[in-house]
């Protein structure tokens, strides 16, 4: 009898081992597909379908043979029950209208009932105890955790009832009574084994569940990253519009006969480099974003707008006549005008040169149409850029006066005195004009310096002084970006250089410093000393001239200082100029 029991147990363990191998296979599927809980449920369902398959095709051998044995022993009722149970089970398992969870519960309860029936009728000679344990293990493999707990409680209750009935003599006529005093030990052992295996299976499933959650989250992050990468690949990060890569791919897609006529509008913002140099890239970016929004709002359904360059935008319009494209350009212009009316500072007005073209014939090249639109745009840009730059320069000049607390009177005095020095040096008319322009705009770079530094009444800290010393370079970039100011850009850069090389930003010395910068340095220092500033009170003319002479040869060109002092003392026009200044004060 012991050999039979051991053989039955060995068979059951092989069955369980096979199920674990299948579990391992399905785990590999989870790792490969990475679909989280869906794969975990698929694992349990797949296991159930495997068992169902074996049950349907191998069940007749077991059930019919068992029914035959019961029939031979004269147990006709039990034989009929086992015979009918197979057909009823098959009906439930193959019925598509029945919920899968109900099928699982029915299958487990049927197996459990059959196992208990074998245990009662066959006793120790049968495999009923092993079958009960196997069903208990299967419940952990097929059901969700909450249903496993319920099934385990049901199992314990069933064994408790059988133990009570066995002890009361109810089963004396059945083979289960042959267990005798060993029943309790065998029952407890089988339950411990079943629950232990059940616990191991649940640990495996919990691990798979955690793993599937990690895989699912990783997949979600990967998909989100892919979507983000795909978005960034085709979109401009600043404006959110499509980028040039997408624009060029869409050209290929749209350039077909059924999309004719295909119109294109290209636009380029005037003065964006000057804006960046004067007010910083944040101001320039804001102009670009506002322009993008205006042009996007003017686009209709089916039209595609993209940022195709730093300050360039393009609109692709399939099935659009040239007249319609011209109307769209006018809509954009009017929208920009309305926008500019709300902006008080002209420096921040939007000015866009626009051009358009239309491909009307199928044999034409869309790239040629785009080139025509760009050519028209560039023509408009040449006409509009000078006025745009002039407006920006005027606004920058006003901003400079406001931020640096310098006045137009200061610039006018500086221009007048500098011109006198220039005439005394016999400068050409062009040089005199540049000198006058330099006198007005030498400090234009201060628009890029923090207001708190410019308005600070006390001594600047080392960090603040480093920031302040950047204004010649900022002014240089502004001048280079504007055709009207490019001629004085080097003079703006050098107007804080010292004769002895101790100045900034390049540390130029002597005649290496441009002549016009040397003239402005002296004139500006004198006018600044004789005018009240936030960081100092005004001094009298004699003291200011004495200070200028003391710094001759170190800060200032000695020859320019000598000439400047002479002009200040001997020229009547200068005296009148500074008398008017004192009168205004």
Cβ(156)–Cβ(191) under 8 Å?
A: yes
The answer on 441 and 344 residing in a single domain is: no
The answer on 411 and 386 residing in a single domain is: no
The verdict on residue 360 lying in a domain is yes
DSSP states of 181-228 as a string? GGHHHHHHHHHHHHHHHHHHHHHHHHHHHHHHHHHHHHHHHHHHHHHH
Structure token pair of residue 166: 């066995």
The answer on 447 and 499 residing in a single domain is: yes
Residue 569 sits in a domain of what CATH number?
1.10.3210.10
Tally of domains in the chain: 3
The answer on 191 and 45 residing in a single domain is: yes
Length in residues, the chain: 585
The answer on 132 and 11 residing in a single domain is: yes
Q: Which of 535, 532, 564 is nearest to 548 (CA)?
A: 564
The answer on 416 and 383 residing in a single domain is: no
The answer on 139 and 110 residing in a single domain is: yes
The verdict on residue 119 lying in a domain is yes
* Residue 504: DSSP 8-state: S
Quickly tell me which residue has 């686009």 as its tokens.
299
Dihedrals phi, psi of 36, to nearest 5 degrees: 65, -135
Other CB atoms within 10 Å distance of the CB of residue 494: 25
First to last CA, the chain: 125
* Residue 461: DSSP 8-state: P
The answer on 410 and 371 residing in a single domain is: no
The answer on 447 and 339 residing in a single domain is: no
The verdict on residue 230 lying in a domain is no
Domain that holds residue 371: 244-393
Structure token pair of residue 433: 């004009």
The answer on 202 and 135 residing in a single domain is: yes
The answer on 164 and 301 residing in a single domain is: no
pLDDT tens-place values along the chain, 585 residues long: 456 656 655 665 665 566 556 545 554 554 454 444 455 677 777 778 777 777 777 777 767 776 776 677 777 777 787 778 788 888 888 787 888 888 888 888 888 887 887 788 777 765 778 888 888 888 887 888 888 888 888 888 988 998 888 888 888 887 888 888 888 888 888 888 888 888 888 787 777 777 777 777 777 887 777 888 888 889 999 999 999 999 999 998 898 888 899 999 999 998 888 888 778 888 899 999 999 999 999 999 999 999 999 999 999 999 999 999 999 999 999 999 999 999 887 778 899 999 999 999 888 889 999 999 998 888 787 667 656 666 667 777 777 776 665 666 778 888 888 989 999 999 998 898 889 889 888 888 888 888 888 888 778 888 989 999 999 998 898 888 777 788 899 999 999 999 999 999 999 999 999 999 999 999 999 988 887 665 567 788 888 899 999 999 999 999 999 999 998 887 765 655 655 554 444
Predicted model pTM: 0.55
Q: Which of 75, 91, 132 is nearest to 67 (CA)?
A: 75
């Amino acid at each position: 009898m012991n050999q039979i029991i051991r053989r039955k147990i060995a068979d059951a363990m092989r069955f369980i081992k096979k199920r674990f191998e299948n579990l391992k296979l399905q785990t590999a599927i989870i790792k490969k597909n990475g679909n989280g809980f869906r794969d975990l449920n698929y694992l349990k369902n797949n296991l159930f379908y495997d068992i169902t398959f074996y049950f349907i095709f191998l069940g007749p051998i077991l059930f019919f043979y068992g029914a035959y044995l019961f029939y031979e022993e004269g147990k006709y009722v039990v034989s009929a029950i086992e015979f009918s149970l197979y057909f009823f089970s098959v009906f439930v398992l193959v019925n598509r209208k029945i919920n899968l969870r109900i099928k699982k519960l029915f299958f487990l309860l049927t197996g459990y009932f059959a196992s208990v029936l074998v245990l009662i009728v066959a006793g120790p000679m049968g495999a009923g105890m092993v079958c009960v344990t196997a069903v208990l293990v299967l419940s952990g493999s097929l059901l969700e955790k909450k249903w496993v707990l319920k099934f385990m409680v049901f199992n314990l209750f069933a064994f408790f009832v059988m133990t009570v009935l066995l002890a009361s003599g109810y089963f004396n006529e059945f083979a289960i009574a042959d267990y005798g005093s060993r029943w309790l030990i065998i029952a407890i052992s089988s339950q411990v084994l079943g629950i232990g295996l059940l616990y191991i299976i649940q640990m495996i499933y919990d691990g798979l569940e955690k793993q599937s959650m990690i895989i699912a989250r990783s997949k979600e992050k990967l998909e989100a990253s892919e979507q983000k990468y795909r978005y960034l690949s085709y979109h401009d990060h600043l404006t959110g519009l499509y980028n040039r890569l997408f624009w060029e791919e869409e050209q290929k897609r749209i350039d077909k006969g059924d999309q004719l006529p295909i119109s294109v509008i290209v636009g380029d913002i005037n003065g964006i480099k000057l804006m960046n140099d004067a007010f910083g890239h944040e101001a320039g970016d804001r102009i670009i974003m506002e322009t993008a929004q205006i042009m996007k709002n003017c686009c209709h359904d089916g039209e595609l707008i993209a940022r195709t360059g730093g300050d360039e935008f393009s609109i692709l319009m399939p099935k659009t006549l040239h007249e319609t494209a011209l109307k769209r350009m006018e809509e954009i212009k009017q929208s920009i005008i309305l926008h500019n009316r709300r902006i008080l500072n002209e420096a921040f007005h939007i000015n866009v040169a626009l051009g358009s073209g239309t491909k009307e014939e199928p044999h034409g090249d869309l790239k040629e149409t785009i080139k025509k639109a760009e050519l028209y745009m560039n023509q408009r840009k040449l006409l509009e850029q000078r006025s745009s730059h002039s407006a920006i320069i005027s606004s920058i000049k006003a901003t400079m006066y406001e931020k640096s607390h310098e006045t137009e009177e200061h610039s006018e005095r500086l221009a007048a005195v500098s011109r006198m020095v220039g005439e005394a040096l016999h400068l050409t008319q062009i040089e005199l004009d540049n000198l006058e322009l330099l006198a007005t705009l030498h400090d234009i770079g201060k628009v890029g310096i923090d207001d708190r530094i410019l308005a600070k009444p006390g001594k600047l800290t080392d960090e603040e002084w480093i920031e302040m010393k950047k204004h010649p370079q900022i002014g240089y970039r502004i001048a280079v970006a504007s055709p009207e100011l490019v001629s004085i850009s080097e003079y703006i850069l050098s107007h804080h250089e010292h004769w002895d090389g101790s100045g900034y930003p390049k540390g130029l010395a002597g005649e290496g410093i441009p002549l016009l910068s040397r003239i402005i340095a002296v004139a500006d220092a004198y006018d600044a000393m004789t005018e009240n500033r936030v960081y100092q009170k005004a001094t009298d003319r004699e003291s200011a001239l004495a200070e200028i002479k003391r710094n001759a040869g170190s800060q200032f060109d000695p020859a320019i200082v000598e000439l400047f002092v002479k002009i200040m003392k001997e020229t009547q026009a200068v005296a009148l100029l500074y008398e008017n200044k004192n009168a205004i004060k």
